[in-house]
């Protein structure tokens, strides 16, 4: 090579990372892999193989087994058998194994990085400097969680067997995010890596044998979507976690609906990257490189939607284009490469089609004249500017190195445009003004917000989405709650139900007629249908009439609730006061409410008073928590603070249980509004009168209009329009079990957060002792706001 | 474990051609032989006020840049030779003597032993450093030792390193060094004007220095370690370029913190902004604290990435360093022989 010529051109030259150790390892398995089940690699008698290739040149790397139903059954069985011992073995024991895994990752760091790059096509710089170190960090963090879990999480128990399905974009990192928290807390796991990128998962399995993790604690079954569905539908899998596309996430929700499994979904995104005119523009440009040209843009939280303030748009886009010219696309194993290859031919075609669509939408397309290898599935970095909110490209995920952009005028408009999306995974805000940055950070609907930085991850910080970007969090304390459930409380002493006494005296007198209407936007509203329904007592006598609500009443209630958004911004002190005041007002009328309960149920006076008193205590409980259910501060490093903020879900549909007509209503409503949510409540079907009476308490307790709305009627009539309404963000369902599946399935449209509450005495009479925190956790989403600092 | 033995076929999927939709912009950094000298512009205080620098984002860029690029084998050789040609070999000590300066000049002319160059198959190539940098009293000796070599002599000036001597004396010092024959003058700024945000006063002083320099190149040392914030560093860099700096330089080498990558990134980005504003290219000189061959490569990569190849020439980039050369020599010997060298095997400067 002509050194003097290089001296003149100052080119970088090739800098390939060696792959010989990785090749040796593949050869040691004859390039053919079985599943890892019960602590050993296992192949069925008639295995069906599929190929995993190197997307940079199409070379066949290995043959991988397609998991059959029998394979999955075996894996689940192994996990189930191992779970009890694993869970009982104690935090210290599990911590030792997680620590060994973390150490082992570090010992094998380079071969893991090379394997990942070979299988996925992302640059070795990223696997070496980002993926693998984060994997080790995740196991260290959760080794700690296992250690302190016995004391700090004494009120939580593991789910049992977790089914986990992970994508191809961060293969080993997603494995770590799934497996570490699950096994730290005593679950066991059946995990399926993507059919595109199974190699690091298999190496990981190989490592588990080395450290002698007890057989069955982690099982890895390879295969495609069909294998995944066997895991999803397996009745012994109690918890499902999936990372991948929103469409597959919806399919999994639908498959899991009938079994009512706990679900964590981390799905797609169209994350806004907001550049204000007072930002450090050069740094923001570099932020864009890390946001959309990390991992070829195949990142769920990629800052793919650039919103730039009109005043600086032209200057900024020019800088972006200049920066694109120096990006190097090429062999992923080269240490001086910024952008590797797309995962597959199909994926690259999708990207090409989206870019062509951008052209037809009058977007200005810029691609630098970078050398692109002919082999493989490479795609150049692309900027499409001049789009509008109605452009398909501003709305749909591209999942490639394509940045789309449009302008905004004011911060308020930036927030509105950012939230104008069905997704809500992440956001990046660039401004040197702390007021601007923090305001936007709090107003944006997304699970992660990065201020003057982007694509930062740490095991101590939760990650996950709002809206159709999924639900649940991974990482940090937040993540732990999604791999554990509340320990059931000791059984309550059953209150005797000796049959009802006589109708109270005053009600035996002729009474003034009462008309029970819906309660919408702070007003009594006649039901749209014009029909009413009789309310019977257990003896079958009519004791009142309620409105027969229909979908229009639900629609009106959603409109009312969504106009009451200021509740979210009401001070915590004020919310707390209002809840206390409701308790006070209920207490003044406790006899009357007790009588009404007696009228509708088999309660005697003592039992009815017990429910009223419990309701008052519940109001006190949530009033107390209203200003105390704080988030957390994570200190990630000496110049980075991450605020984990609890935010309300928005508008929540509530379906009350038939039993506990007052307590059920009050517990759900009080918890939700204490955290800033608005709700639309369908009262108990059989005993709805107490809820309607309660609207008078609402009226006299300074609750703003629209925060609580009540629509009465038949549950099966109202559940459908409620769960299908995209203006409702979550549904808490405590009604009849025959509607569970319908609720789960209908929620898929906008991926509502669904909480199916138990319907037994033990549950409703223990909110304070056992389930109070569970109510609160279901009332909020956690947003992690990353704030680096320093001058 | 039962495994099916299936022979591996090597499949090759050939990627289809990609539609490049945008035309290539004309490359902005074609090599040009002569540099248009920066004459400066009027001070634009609005522009100064708008300058923003985010420290943690700058640090993230410099931390990852180190791992985004690397050069190996022949490329590393070429890049290290490049680093030598961009070096201001410096001696700025109270005990400098003519003898010391003679030795330094000899090293400047033969920075790498011929044996190594021969081994690297570049022995015909005249490798010499960018300049020799001395105090005023040493100018004459440096000029004499470097006569007819084409290596310029730079002199530090204006009450170096603190710049706290009377203004008229600082001007006189420049003129004195220029009349002695110094080709380049490294001036220091009064840091107090930055810390009290008196941009006009700073501009005026630097502007006067420039006039005093005449045909000599003015390198302005902004003493980044004493300016407090990266934002101040960017603003100071911009004011100095507006006032006519031919080079901006990080440090005197006497502050407690000298050249760092974050500081350099901020300064070169400001150079780029000034180029976009005026069309004038201003040079950059990181000085102090760069002593390892690997670090020198990181600086060259920073420049290549942020400013382009045009800035990798001695008229636009210099290292201010005294012990860096020795480490580069050792690295070159390793590239030549595959053996790691000891510093005593290379002739001292």
| Chain A residues inside the 8 Å CB shell of B61 | 283, 286
CA A328-A333-A336 angle, to 5 degrees, is: 35
Give the residue ranges of DSSP H helices in A301-388: 313-325, 345-360
What is the 8-class DSSP label of residue A385? E
Q: A545 φ, ψ to 5°?
A: -135, 145
User: Encoding tokens for residue B79?
Assistant: 């890049």
Q: Are residues A604 and A582 part of one domain?
A: yes
Which residue from B143, B85, B34, B80 is spatially nearest to B301, judged by alpha carbons?
A: B80
Residue of chain A whose alpha carbon sits nearest to that of B13 = A58
Per-residue buried b or exposed e for A590-627, using 16+ beta carbons within 10 Å of the residue's own CB: eeebbbbbbbbbebbeebbbbbbebbbebbbbbbbbbe
Q: How many domains does chain A have?
A: 3
Q: Are residues A763 and A695 part of one domain?
A: yes
In a domain, A354, yes or no: yes
Q: Are residues A279 and A263 part of one domain?
A: no
The SS3 of residue A735 is coil
In a domain, A586, yes or no: yes
Q: How confident is the model at residue A508 (pLDDT cuts 50, 70, 90)?
A: low
What is the 8-class DSSP label of residue A748? G
**Quick one: residue A546, left, alpha or beta (phi over 0 = left, psi -120 to 50 = alpha)?**
beta
Give the residue ranges of DSSP H helices in A35-170: 69-88, 91-107, 109-120, 124-126, 132-152
Instruction: Tally C-beta pairs within 8 A across A and B.
Output: 181
Matching residue, tokens 């509004």: A673
Which residue pairs from A767-773 have beta carbons closer than 8 angstroms and sit at least 24 positions apart in sequence? Answer: A767/A618, A767/A621, A767/A667, A768/A617, A768/A618, A768/A621, A769/A489, A770/A155, A770/A486, A770/A487, A770/A488, A770/A489, A771/A486, A771/A489, A772/A621, A772/A622, A772/A625, A772/A671, A773/A155, A773/A486
Choose the mutation target among A283, A294, A453 for the interface with B, i.e. most B CBs under 10 Å. Answer: A283
Average pLDDT (A650-670) is 95
Q: Measured between CA atoms, how close is B308 to chain A, in angstroms? A: 9
Cα(B335)–Cα(A365) distance, integer angstroms? 44
Q: Is B11 within 8 Å of A13 when comparing Cβ atoms?
A: no
| Chain B residues inside the 8 Å CB shell of A53 | 11, 13
Cα(A382)–Cα(A370) distance, integer angstroms? 11
B-contacting residues in A 436-495 (Cβ below 8 Å) = 452-453
What is the 8-class DSSP label of residue B124? T
pTM for the model stands at 0.90
In a domain, B347, yes or no: no
In a domain, A503, yes or no: no
Give the closest of A3, A58, A377 to B121, CB-based: A3
Which residue from A599, A590, A593 is spatially nearest to A687, judged by alpha carbons?
A: A599
- Residue-wise pLDDT for A479-502, tens only, equals 999 999 988 776 655 454 433 344
Sign of CA dihedral B337, B339, B342, B343: positive
Q: Is A41 within 8 Å of B22 when comparing Cβ atoms?
A: no
Q: Are residues A340 and A241 part of one domain?
A: no
Cα(A245)–Cα(A266) distance, integer angstroms? 8
In sequence order, what DSSP letters do the residues of A642-682 get, joined into one string?
EEEEEEE-SEEEEE--SSSHHHHHHHHHHHHHHTT-EEEEE
Q: Where is pLDDT greater, at A538 or A552?
A: A552
Q: B3 φ, ψ to 5°?
A: -130, 135
CA B265-B268-B270 angle, to 5 degrees, is: 110
Please give the share of chain A, as a percent, with pLDDT higher than 70: 96
| Chain B residues inside the 8 Å CB shell of A9 | 309
C-alpha torsion A344→A348→A354→A357, nearest 10? -140
Q: Do the beta carbons of residue B220 and residue B154 sit within 8 Å? A: no
Give the closest of B56, B74, B300 to A453, CB-based: B56
In sequence order, what DSSP letters do the residues of A265-322 get, joined into one string?
EE-----EEEE-TTS-HHHHHHHHHHHHSGGGG--TT---EEEEEGGGHHHHHHHHHH
Whether residue A252 has pLDDT greater than 70: yes
Mean pLDDT (chain A) is 93
Q: Are residues A207 and A347 part of one domain?
A: no
- Residue-wise pLDDT for A81-121, tens only, equals 999 999 999 999 999 999 999 999 999 999 999 999 999 99
Q: Do the beta carbons of residue A391 and residue A412 sit within 8 Å? A: no
What does the pLDDT read at residue A510? 54
Give the closest of A15, A29, A278 to B72, CB-based: A15
User: How confident is the prediction along chain B (349 residues), in pLDDT tens digits per residue?
Assistant: 444 444 333 333 333 334 433 333 333 444 445 788 999 999 999 999 999 999 999 999 999 999 999 999 999 999 999 999 999 999 999 999 999 999 999 999 999 999 999 999 988 888 999 999 999 999 999 999 999 999 999 999 999 999 999 999 999 999 999 999 999 999 999 999 999 999 999 999 999 999 999 999 999 999 999 999 999 999 999 999 999 999 999 999 999 999 999 999 999 999 999 999 999 999 999 999 899 999 999 999 999 999 999 999 999 999 998 889 999 999 999 999 998 888 888 887 7
Q: Are residues A58 and A141 part of one domain?
A: yes
Q: Give the CATH number of the domain where residue B145 resides.
A: 3.20.20.70
Q: A225 φ, ψ to 5°?
A: -60, -35
Q: Give the CATH number of the domain where residue A156 resides.
A: 3.40.605.10
Choose the mutation target among B2, B6, B11, B15 for the interface with A, i.e. most A CBs under 10 Å. Answer: B15
What does the pLDDT read at residue A512? 67
- Pairing mode of beta strands B184-188, B153-156: parallel
Cα(A330)–Cα(A399) distance, integer angstroms? 19
| Chain A residues inside the 8 Å CB shell of B309 | 9-10
Q: A536 φ, ψ to 5°?
A: -105, 150
Give the closest of A42, A335, A368 to B1, CB-based: A42
Which of A221, A252, A267 is the last residue before a domain boundary? A267
User: Encoding tokens for residue B188?
Assistant: 């220091």
B-contacting residues in A 549-568 (Cβ below 8 Å) = none
- Residue-wise pLDDT for A359-373, tens only, equals 999 999 999 998 899
Q: Do the beta carbons of residue B183 and residue B219 sit within 8 Å? A: no
Alpha carbon of A439 to those of A444, A532, A646, A671: distances in Å? 9, 47, 15, 26
Whether A300 is catalytic: yes
Residue of chain A whose alpha carbon sits nearest to that of B64 = A129
- Residue-wise pLDDT for A668-707, tens only, equals 999 999 999 999 999 999 999 999 999 999 999 999 999 9
Average pLDDT (A158-165) is 98
- Residue-wise pLDDT for A581-610, tens only, equals 999 999 999 999 999 999 999 999 999 999
What does the pLDDT read at residue B7? 39
Average pLDDT (A428-432) is 98
Q: Are residues A232 and A130 part of one domain?
A: yes
In sequence order, what DSSP letters do the residues of A394-450 get, joined into one string?
HHS---SSEEEEEEESSHHHHHHHHHSSSEESEEEEE-S-HHHHHHHHHHS--SEEE
Q: Is B54 within 8 Å of A283 when comparing Cβ atoms?
A: yes
For chain B, first and last CA: distance in Å?
Answer: 67
Q: Are residues A751 and A612 part of one domain?
A: yes
Strand partners, A484: A158
Q: Is B11 within 8 Å of A355 when comparing Cβ atoms?
A: no
Q: Measured between CA atoms, how close is B231 to chain A, in angstroms? A: 8
Q: Are residues A312 and A207 part of one domain?
A: no
Could you tell me the residue range of the domain that residue A743 belongs to? 516-631+649-780
Q: Do the beta carbons of residue A413 and residue A274 sit within 8 Å? A: no
In a domain, A476, yes or no: no
Q: Are residues A710 and A689 part of one domain?
A: yes
Active-site positions of B read 186, 249, 285
Q: Is A43 within 8 Å of B72 when comparing Cβ atoms?
A: no
| Chain B residues inside the 8 Å CB shell of A372 | 18
Residue A236: how many other CB atoms lie within 10 Å:
14
Average pLDDT (A210-227) is 97
Q: Measured between CA atoms, how close is A216 to chain B, in angstroms? A: 16
Which of A267, A294, A325 is the last residue before a domain boundary? A267
CA B218-B224-B228 angle, to 5 degrees, is: 140
Matching residue, tokens 């925060």: A707
| Chain B residues inside the 8 Å CB shell of A129 | 64, 67
Matching residue, tokens 């020198």: B296
Give the residue ranges of DSSP H helices in A532-654: 551-563, 566-569, 572-588, 590-600, 605-626
Q: Is B309 within 8 Å of A9 when comparing Cβ atoms?
A: yes
Residue of chain A whose alpha carbon sits nearest to that of B303 = A10
| Chain A residues inside the 8 Å CB shell of B59 | 639, 790
Give the closest of B20, B77, B304 to A10, CB-based: B304
Q: Which residue of the set A116, A126, A195, A266 is catalytic?
A: A266
Q: How many CA atoms lie within 13 A of B120 on its CB side?
A: 29
Average pLDDT (A198-215) is 97
Strand partners, B248: B220, B284
Q: Are residues A408 and A350 part of one domain?
A: yes
Whether residue A741 has pLDDT greater than 80: yes
Q: Is A53 within 8 Å of B14 when comparing Cβ atoms?
A: no
| Chain A residues inside the 8 Å CB shell of B262 | none
Is the ipTM above a cut-off of 0.85?
yes
What does the pLDDT read at residue A679? 97
CA A650-A656-A659 angle, to 5 degrees, is: 155
In a domain, B139, yes or no: yes
What does the pLDDT read at residue B11? 36
Give the closest of B56, B70, B121 to A639, CB-based: B56
Helix (H) or strand (E) holding A632: strand A632-637
What does the pLDDT read at residue A652? 97
Whether A50 and chain B come into contact, CB under 8 Å, resolves to no
CB neighbour list of residue B78: distance below 8 Å, 6 or more residues apart: A3, A4, A6, A7, A10, B71
| Chain B residues inside the 8 Å CB shell of A430 | 54
What does the pLDDT read at residue A768? 61
**Quick one: residue B71, left, alpha or beta (phi over 0 = left, psi -120 to 50 = alpha)?**
beta
Give the closest of B6, B10, B68 to A32, CB-based: B6
Q: Is A32 within 8 Å of B69 when comparing Cβ atoms?
A: no
In a domain, A788, yes or no: no
Q: Are residues A698 and A609 part of one domain?
A: yes
Residue of chain A whose alpha carbon sits nearest to that of B123 = A4
Could you tell me the residue range of the domain that residue B159 belongs to? 45-69+132-318
Q: How many domains does chain B have?
A: 1
Which of A250, A267, A284 is the last residue before a domain boundary? A267
Q: Which residue of the set A276, A300, A301, A461 is catalytic?
A: A300
């Amino acid at each position: 090579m002509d050194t003097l010529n290089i001296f003149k051109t100052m080119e970088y030259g090739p800098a390939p990372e060696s792959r010989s150790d990785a090749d040796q390892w593949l050869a040691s398995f004859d390039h053919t892999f079985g599943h890892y089940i019960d602590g050993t690699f296992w192949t069925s008698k008639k295995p069906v193989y599929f190929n995993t290739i190197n997307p940079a040149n199409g070379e066949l790397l290995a043959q991988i087994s397609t998991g059959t139903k029998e394979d999955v059954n075996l894996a689940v069985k192994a996990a189930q058998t191992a779970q009890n011992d694993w869970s009982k073995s104690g935090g210290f024991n599990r911590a030792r194994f997680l620590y060994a895994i973390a150490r082992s990752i570090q010992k094998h760091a380079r071969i893991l990085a090379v394997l990942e790059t070979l299988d996925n096509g992302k640059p070795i710089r990223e696997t070496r400097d980002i993926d693998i170190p984060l994997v080790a960090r995740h196991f260290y963090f959760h080794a700690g969680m296992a250690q302190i879990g016995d004391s700090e999480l004494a009120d939580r128990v593991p789910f049992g067997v977790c089914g986990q399905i992970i994508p191809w974009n961060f293969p080993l990192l997603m494995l770590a995010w799934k497996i570490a928290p699950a096994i730290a807390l005593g679950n066991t796991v059946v995990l399926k890596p993507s059919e595109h990128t199974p190699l690091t998962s298999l190496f990981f399995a190989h490592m588990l044998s080395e450290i002698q993790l007890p057989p069955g604690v982690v099982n890895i079954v390879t295969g495609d979507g069909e294998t995944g569905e066997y895991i999803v539908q397996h009745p012994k899998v109690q918890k499902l976690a999936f990372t991948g596309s929103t469409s597959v996430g919806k399919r999994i929700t639908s498959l899991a609906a009938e079994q009512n499994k706990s679900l964590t979904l981390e799905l797609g995104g169209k994350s806004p990257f907001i550049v204000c005119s007072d930002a450090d523009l050069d740094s923001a440009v570099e932020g864009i490189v890390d946001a959309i040209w990390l991992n070829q843009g195949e990142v769920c939280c990629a800052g793919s939607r650039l919103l730039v303030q009109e005043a600086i748009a032209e200057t900024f886009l020019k800088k972006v284009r200049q920066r694109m010219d120096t990006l190097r696309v090429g062999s992923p194993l080269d240490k001086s490469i910024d952008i590797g290859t797309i995962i597959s031919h199909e994926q690259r075609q999708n990207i090409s089609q989206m870019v062509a669509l951008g052209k037809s939408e009058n977007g200005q397309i810029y691609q630098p004249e970078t050398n692109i290898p002919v082999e493989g599935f490479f795609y150049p970095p692309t900027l499409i500017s001049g789009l509008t909110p109605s452009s398909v490209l501003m709305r749909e995920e591209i999942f490639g190195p394509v940045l789309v952009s449009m302008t905004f005028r004011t911060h308020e408009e930036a927030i509105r445009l950012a939230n104008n999306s069905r997704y809500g995974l992440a956001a990046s805000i660039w401004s040197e003004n702390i007021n601007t940055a923090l305001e936007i950070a709090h107003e944006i609907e997304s699970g992660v917000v990065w201020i003057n930085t982007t694509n930062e991850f740490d095991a101590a910080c939760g990650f996950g989405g709002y809206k159709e970007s999924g639900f649940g969090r991974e990482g940090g304390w937040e993540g732990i709650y999604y791999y554990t459930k509340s320990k059931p409380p000791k059984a309550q002493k059953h209150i005797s139900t000796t049959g009802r006494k006589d109708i109270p005296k005053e009600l035996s007198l002729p009474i003034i007629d009462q008309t029970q209407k819906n309660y919408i936007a702070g007003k009594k509203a006649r039901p749209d249908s014009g029909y009413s329904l009789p309310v019977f007592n257990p003896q079958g006598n009519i004791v009142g009439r309620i409105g027969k609500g229909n979908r229009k009443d639900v629609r009106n209630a959603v409109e009312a609730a969504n106009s009451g958004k200021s509740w979210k911004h009401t001070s915590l002190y004020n919310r707390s006061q209002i809840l206390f005041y409701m308790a006070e007002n209920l207490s003044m009328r406790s006899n009357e409410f007790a009588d009404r309960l007696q009228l509708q149920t088999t309660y005697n006076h003592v039992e009815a008073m017990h429910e009223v008193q419990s309701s008052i205590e519940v109001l006190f409980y949530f009033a107390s928590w209203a200003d105390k259910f704080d988030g957390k501060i994570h200190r990630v490093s000496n110049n980075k603070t991450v605020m984990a903020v609890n935010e309300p879900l928005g508008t929540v549909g509530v379906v009350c249980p038939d039993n506990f007509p007052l307590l059920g209503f009050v517990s759900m409503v009080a918890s939700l509004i204490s955290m800033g949510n608005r709700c639309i409540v369908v009262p108990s079907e059989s005993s709805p009168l107490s809820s309607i009476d309660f609207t008078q308490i609402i009226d006299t307790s300074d609750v703003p209009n629209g925060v609580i709305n009540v629509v009465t009627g038949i549950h099966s009539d109202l559940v459908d329009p409620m769960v299908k309404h995209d203006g409702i963000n979550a549904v808490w369902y405590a009604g009849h079990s025959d509607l569970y599946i319908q609720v789960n399935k209908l929620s898929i449209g906008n991926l509502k957060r669904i909480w199916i509450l138990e319907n037994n005495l033990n549950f409703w009479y223990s909110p304070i002792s056992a389930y109070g925190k569970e109510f609160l956790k279901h009332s909020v989403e956690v947003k992690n706001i990353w704030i680096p600092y320093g001058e | 474990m039962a495994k099916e033995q299936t022979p591996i076929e090597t499949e090759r999927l050939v990627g289809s051609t990609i539609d490049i939709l945008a035309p290539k912009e004309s490359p902005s950094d074609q090599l040009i032989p002569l540099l248009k000298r920066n004459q400066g512009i009027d001070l634009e205080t609005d522009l100064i006020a708008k300058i923003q620098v985010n420290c943690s984002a700058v640090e993230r860029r410099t931390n990852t840049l180190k791992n985004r690029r690397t050069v190996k084998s022949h490329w590393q050789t070429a890049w290290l030779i490049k680093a030598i040609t961009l070096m201001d070999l410096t001696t700025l000590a109270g005990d400098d003597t003519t003898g010391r300066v003679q030795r330094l000049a000899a090293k400047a002319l033969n920075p790498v032993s011929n044996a190594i160059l021969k081994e690297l198959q570049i022995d015909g190539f005249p490798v010499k450093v960018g300049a020799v940098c001395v105090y005023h009293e040493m100018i004459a000796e440096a000029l004499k030792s470097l006569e007819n070599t084409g290596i310029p002599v730079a002199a530090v000036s204006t009450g170096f390193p603190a710049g706290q001597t009377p203004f008229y004396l600082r001007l006189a010092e420049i003129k004195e060094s220029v009349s002695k024959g110094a080709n380049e003058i490294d001036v220091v700024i009064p840091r107090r004007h930055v810390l009290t945000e008196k941009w006009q006063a700073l501009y005026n002083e630097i502007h006067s220095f420039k006039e005093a320099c005449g045909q000599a190149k003015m390198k302005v040392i902004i003493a980044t370690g004493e300016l407090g914030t990266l934002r101040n560093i960017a603003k100071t860099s911009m004011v100095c370029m507006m006032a006519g700096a031919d080079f901006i330089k990080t440090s005197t080498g006497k502050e407690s913190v000298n050249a760092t990558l974050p500081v350099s990134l901020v300064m070169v980005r400001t150079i780029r902004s000034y180029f976009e504003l005026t069309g004038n290219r201003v040079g950059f000189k990181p000085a102090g604290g760069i002593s390892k061959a690997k670090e020198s490569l990181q600086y060259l990569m920073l420049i290549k990435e942020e400013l382009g190849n045009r800035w990798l020439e001695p008229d636009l980039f210099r290292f201010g360093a005294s012990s860096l050369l020795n480490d580069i020599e050792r690295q070159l010997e390793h590239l030549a022989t595959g053996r790691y060298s000891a510093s005593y095997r290379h002739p001292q400067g």
